[in-house]
Structures are given as C-alpha cells and as structure tokens.
Amino acid sequence: MSFGLLVYFLSDCFFNDTGTTARDTILFVGSFRCVEETALVFLQLPYEELGAFPLCYALGGICLGLIAILSSIKSIHHLYHWYTGPIAMIGLVTLLHVSSTVTNPEIKLAAYAGSIYAIITLYSMLKMRFFVVTFWSHFAGIVHLFILRFTTNEISFISFQAYFVAANLIGMGIAYVIEHRERAIFLQGLLLDIDKIEQKQLYGDLEKLSREDSLTCLANRRYFDERLDQEWNRCRREKRPLSVILLDVDFFKQFNDFYGHQTGDHCLMNLAKALQQEASRPGELVGRYGGEEFIMLYPNVDEEQIQTTLQRILERVHDLNIEHQTSTVNTMVTISLGAATAYPVRSIPSERIVTSADKMLYKSKNNGRDQWHSTQLSHVEAQPSQLEILP
C-alpha cells in the first residue's frame, strides 16, 4: 500500500488541472508500476498458478499509459472525463477478472488484495468526477459478471461483493473527497480573483477621484500640478517650449445668482467639453483650477501657436451660445484668457509659468474681458510689448 499512498499524495498535491505534466508523469509511473508488479509476481510464483494475473495487470498498466498519453494532448483536455471513464472501466474489468482465474486460495486472496489496492490507486490517480466514477464502476461490475457467465471461470458472488463493492465504495469515496476539495479550492480561487478585481477597481476609482474633478471630469489641481512638473522636466531635457493657458468665465457669480447654481454647473460642464476638444493631443491636458477657472497645458507649443489656440478657444466659447443676460460684456457667456510660454530651464521653477499666465489673465480682465493676452518667459526672445521681466 506504500506506493498507493505515495501516488495518492502526489496526485493530491500536484494535480490542479486535468492533462497537466504532473498528472502525465504519475500516470506513466503507475502504468510502469503495474508492469513491475506483474514481473515480480511472475518471477516469484509458478506461472501455472497465476491464471490471468500477468496479462490483466499488464493490460491495466497499458490502460494507465494510454490515459497518460491522451491527457498530454492539450487539444483534447476538455474530453478528459469522456475517454478516461471507458479506458478505466476496461482496466477495472481486467483487475476484477484476475481472481476468477486463480485456483490457489493463497494467490486468490493476494489477487483480491491486489485488485482492491489497484482499484483504489486507480481512482486516486485518475481523479475522475464522482458521477463518472459511479457510472463506470457499476458498468465494470456488470461487464465482469457477463464475462464470468459466458466463460468457464467461476467466482463466489459473496466474494465478488466483498471486494468489488468495498473497493469501489472506497474508490468512489476518494473520488468524491477529491472532487469536493477541488471544487472548494476552485471556489476559493474564484473568490480571491473576484476580490482582487474588486480591489483593483476600487483602487482605480480612488485613483481617479484623487485626480479628477467630480463636476467637469477634468483633471483637478493636484493632478495638473503633477503633470506640469513632468512636462516641464521633459521639455527642459528636450529643449522644447511649454505653454499654459488660464481662463476664467466672465461674471460667473452674476450668472449663478440669476440662473441658479444648477444652470451654472451645466454651463461649466459645457465649457469643459469644449476645452477638451482644444487639448486632445498626447501630452495636452485640461484641468479645473478652481470655481469657474480652468487651466490648460500645451507641451511643444510655442508662443505663436498658443496665440492661435487662444483665439480659437475664444471663438469656440462664443459658438456655445450660452445665454448670460447679466453680463456687461455680451449677452452670451464669454471668457477671459491668459497664456504664458517658456523654454524650461533649471533656474526657473515650473510654478512661474502658471503665475505668468495668471498675470496675463488679469490683464485681459482689466482690459474689458472677452479677450486674451500672452507672454513668454526665460531666455527666448519675445515681442517687447509682451515680454515679462523676471526678477
């Protein structure tokens, strides 16, 4: 029984799926073990007293080897229980047939014990489903009884019941325990996978909340500052320009007081969609900077290009045609914009470009709103009227 216990232990430890390398290896070992036992018995006992013992055990080993070969073919893994059942039934019938061909009482008793041992080992190694084991084991018993009926071999029905029923009940019990355990392990693994997916989704939602403005779905100020530092350092390494736009909705407090805060929120959401269309290229970013203020990041965009963008944004907001009767600038919602462009250098912090854009924004407001102004920083030459002198 030591080999059977070893096989059961190995199959219980290493079998996670039918057709695996571990299962193939143990099935091959089992088939060779059957042949080995046949050879040992054949050498120790007179051949004429063995009956069909060598042939039946050799056939059992062949059945196990055939299952191992089939289970190593990945394309038919899904058919494992379909071909394992009939082949195992053939092996089981051959094992049952051994004792009926032996006349020596001592060898017959050994044949009973060997058959029980082989049947239990067979169930343990193959790890078939419980209902499959139940069906094919009963079918094997019926086939064996028919073989006895049409051959000259005889066996006591009580003896047959004693070892066949006992062995198969133990085998079916093993199959049930293994299947129940595998289902429990599978369920636990599935629950763990679900838990990981939920945790990953929760983490993603939290990450999104930490970076996104809940109303406009734009980047919040914290995330914008992170991206600004990243793009500032990248443009500094690549010696490329970086532009920032700050814009503010004109007379938005009066808009909220007159139309209500829900209408004001709707207005901000429409503006956010329009601004996203103006910053859709890789690296570009739109964020809500606070209240009715928005900020936009444009890597690799120089002052001339940002001025074109400013004018286009101004016209895009005009095209929204959002009514604003309390505005002293226009009967529709308008915005004021300020922009700053820099070729980042190590001596200037990234926050300076936002400060400069904010100054240009207030310049637009002080000059009548519904307009834009821009400036350029660092060592790059700019238009004298728009150049900001840094301290």
Tens-digit pLDDT profile for residues 123-146? 666 667 777 777 777 777 777 777
- Span 114-130, mean pLDDT? 68
Mean pLDDT along residues 240-245: 95
What is the 8-class DSSP label of residue 165?
I
Please give the pLDDT value at position 12: 43
Kindly list the distances between the CA atom of residue 31 and the CA atoms of 3, 26, 66, 125, 210, in Å, as whole numbers in the listed order. 12, 9, 9, 11, 61
Does 283 fall in a domain? yes
* Residue 270 pLDDT grade (very low, low, confident, very high; cuts 50, 70, 90): very high
Task: Tell me, yes or no, whether 350 and 267 share the same domain.
Answer: yes
| CA R_g for the chain | 41
Tokens of 15: 């079998």
Mean pLDDT of all residues in 176-180: 72
Is the pLDDT assigned to residue 66 strictly greater than 60? Answer: yes
In a domain, 205, yes or no: no
Q: Both 17 and 158 in a single domain?
A: yes
Are 183 and 263 found together in one domain? no
pLDDT of residue 20: 46
Q: How far apart are CA 158 and CA 162, in angstroms?
A: 6
Domain encompassing residue 261: 221-376
**In 3D, which of 363, 361, 391, 362 has the Cα closest to residue 377?**
391
d(CA 242, CA 303): 9
Segment 81-92 mean pLDDT: 75
- Of the candidates 153, 176, 193, which is a domain's last residue? 193
- What is the number of structural domains in the chain? 2
Q: Residue with structure tokens 């071909």?
A: 83
Query: Is 166:117 a contact under the CB 8 Å cutoff?
Result: no
Residue 389 lies in a domain: no
> Could you tell me if residue 95 is inside a domain?
yes
Please check whether residues 365 and 256 belong to one and the same domain: yes
Q: Does 286 score more than 70 pLDDT?
A: yes
The predicted pLDDT at position 283 comes to: 87
Residue 155's pLDDT band, with cuts at 50, 70 and 90, is low
45 part of a folded domain: yes
CA atoms of 71 and 19, how far apart (whole Å): 4
Residue that wins the pLDDT comparison between 181 and 214: 214
User: What pTM was estimated for this model as a whole?
Assistant: 0.52
Residue 105 belongs to a domain: yes
pLDDT surpasses 60 at 6: no
Give the pLDDT band (50/70/90) at residue 383: very low
Same domain, 168 and 283: no
Q: Are 123 and 8 in contact (CB under 8 A)?
A: no
Please report the pLDDT score of residue 37 as a whole number.
Answer: 54
169 with 252, same domain: the answer is no
Q: Check: CB of residue 326 under 8 Å from CB of residue 258.
A: yes
pLDDT tens per residue across span 347-382: 889 999 999 999 999 999 999 999 999 999 855 434
- H or E element at residue 247: strand 242-249
pLDDT bin (cut points 50, 70, 90) of residue 40 is low
Residue 284 pLDDT grade (very low, low, confident, very high; cuts 50, 70, 90): very high
| Contact by Cβ (8 Å): 101, 53 | yes
Q: Determine the average pLDDT of the residues in 253-266.
A: 94
In a domain, 335, yes or no: yes
Helix axes 261-277, 303-320, angle to 10 degrees: 140
Q: What's the CA gap between 81 and 71, in Å, rounded? A: 10
Residue appearing with tokens 């020596």: 104
Q: Are residues 173 and 245 both part of a single domain?
A: no
Query: Does one domain contain both 135 and 230?
Result: no
Query: Do 292 and 157 fall within a single domain?
Result: no
Residue 154 exposed, middle or buried by CB count within 10 Å (0-12, 13-18, 19+)? exposed
Find, among 339, 340, 325, 361, the residue nearest to 249 by Cα: 361
What order do you get walking across the sheet with 242-249 strand by strand? 285-290, 293-299, 242-249, 335-342, 372-376
**Residue 279: which CATH number?**
3.30.70.270
Confidence bin at 259 (pLDDT 50/70/90): very high
Question: Does the pLDDT of residue 391 top 80, yes or no?
Answer: no
Question: Does 152 share its domain with 246?
Answer: no
Alpha-carbon span 102 to 107, nearest angstrom: 7
The residue among 240, 298, 292, 237 whose CA lies nearest residue 268 is 292
